[in-house]
Amino acid sequence: MNKKLKISIIIFFIIFVVDQVVKYGFANLGWDLDGPIMSLKLAYNYGVAFSMFSFLAENLKYIQLVIVIVGTIYLFKNKELFYKYYIPIAFLYAGGLSNILDRFTYGAVVDYFYWHYIFEFAIFNFADVIINCAVAIIIIIQIIDSRREKREKTDL
């Protein structure tokens, strides 16, 4: 098995398991905690970011699974893309599939980070943070590649 594939599988499992254990604690063990800046409070999100599309709550898990399957097929056909972005892809799959599992297990995504200092922000979870980190990594890689290409063109 390719080294990058092994690394991505390990990253996936670590993030996925940590996220599910934490969500289990909030959903079943009452891990809520109030703080002056941020609180840890159980909330269920029936939609996606900022509860958008919550009217699709019952079907959202199937729509998201189809998106993951289509993305996986695309990556199988474009393996060079996977090997270039294997770390953020592992992050995306771990966070995304963990949130999808929540929909099957709890009927909604388990959220618990609640920022309320100066302004109130949406409640989110570790998987959401990981997904955003993956997007940031992809953007950074794209910027680095773009700058390198510009440098190579000017050097010619």
* Residues taking part in catalysis: 111, 128
Is 113 within 8 Å of 130 (Cβ atoms)?
no
Q: Which long-range contacts (CB under 8 A, 24 or more apart) does 59-63 make?
A: 60/103, 61/100, 61/103, 61/104
Q: Provide the phi-psi class of 111: left if phi over 0, else alpha when psi is between -120 and 50, else beta.
A: beta
Residue 84 CB-half CA count within 13 A = 12
State how far the Cα of 108 lies from the Cα of 42, in Å rounded to an integer.
Answer: 12
State how far the Cα of 78 lies from the Cα of 64, in Å rounded to an integer.
Answer: 21
In this structure, the chain runs to a length of 156
